[in-house]
Amino acid sequence: MIVRPRPTLLTVMFALRGSILPQVAPTVIGLTVFSVGVTAAEQRWPWAFPVTAGAGPFTLIGLALSIFLSFRNNACYDRWWEARKVWGSLIVEARGLARTIPALLPGEEHAALRRACLLRVAAFTSALHAGLREGDEAKAAAAWLPGADEAALRGRPSPADATLALILADLAAAMRRGALTDVLLGLLERKVADLSALHTACERIRHTPVPFAYTLLVYRTAWLYCLFLPVGLSGSLGWATPPAVALVAYTFFGLDALGDELEEPFGTAPNDLPMDAMLRTVERTVLDALGDPLPPAIAPDRYWLR
């Protein structure tokens, strides 16, 4: 995610970090060259362009296209913002467990259980982070688990969910030993269930994209519009047509590319969520509760918070 101060005029005009321009530059350049060719043909052989449509029809079509793009970008932004809220809730639940487990299981006799449960919270978050980015969930969780727990995750359909099952199994065993009452176990079980609900919400966002037909309609219309635009404008604008086409293409295809980034909020593009930074927040919360050394918080690198 790009984190920048309020932009100045110079920043607005020349900033590339976080801009969508590098992605759409080949398309914009190609359409500009095409419009130069159309304008040159119109200047050289005006008889081949006996009727010019003018800007009227393109104004109507451009208005409709801009509305379609706005609807799609709003849908993509809703996915991005929902994903951010889910991970914010995950951080809240991790902090809650980091406070609750030591409070309910005090004393040296429960030190091993406290440590195992809290490390599994970090392992769950790491596995979820890896799964959302098509990584190895079991390997990501293994960094926080002993060998026996790591082996228990291999081959499971969802190592992240299996990690939560390990937490609940340990808490149930503590209740049977008399270290927890059934009421306190129910309290902790609800917190584990909340983590599972957040896990499911992330999977829903990850595996339910914006309908492809909707994206195809907008993308196809934008291409047709930008290809016909110089034909309609060259007669009236002359050599001002290529800059006009370049600006329109940058706007339409830039919005489309930005929507593609927001549609997949768990990715690694500059405008995706800072997943690494949020994962580090949970890790620091767990290690602080355990009294272990804390890794540094992740800071933006040239305005890019990963």
φ and ψ at residue 204, rounded to 5 degrees = -65, -45
Q: What is the pLDDT of residue 115?
A: 86
Q: What is the pLDDT of residue 154?
A: 74
Contacts of 82 (CB under 8 A, 6+ apart): 201, 205
Nearest alpha carbon to residue 19 among 300, 267, 303: 303
Q: What is the pLDDT of residue 199?
A: 92
Q: What is the pLDDT of residue 85?
A: 93
φ and ψ at residue 122, rounded to 5 degrees = -65, -40
Cα(196)–Cα(190) distance, integer angstroms? 10
Tell me the two tokens of residue 6. 């309020």
Lowest mean pLDDT among 38-52, 176-190, 254-268, 281-295: 38-52
Q: Which amino acid is at 172?
A: A
pLDDT of 176-186, one tens digit each? 888 777 888 78
Residues, the chain: 306
Q: What average pLDDT does this structure show over 284-294? A: 87
* pLDDT at residue 4 is higher than 70: no
φ and ψ at residue 268, rounded to 5 degrees = -120, 15
φ and ψ at residue 2, rounded to 5 degrees = -80, 125
Q: What is the pLDDT of residue 90?
A: 93
Q: What is the pLDDT of residue 270?
A: 79
pLDDT of 51-110, one tens digit each? 555 566 666 677 777 777 778 888 888 989 999 999 999 999 999 988 888 888 787 877
Mean pLDDT of the chain: 81
- The residue extents of the domains of the chain are 22-290
Cα(84)–Cα(274) distance, integer angstroms? 9
pLDDT of 111-124, one tens digit each? 788 888 889 899 99
Q: What is the pLDDT of residue 45?
A: 74
pLDDT of 124-142, one tens digit each? 999 999 989 888 888 888 8
Cα(246)–Cα(111) distance, integer angstroms? 65
Q: Bigger pLDDT: 263 or 17?
A: 263
pLDDT of 220-234, one tens digit each? 888 888 888 888 777
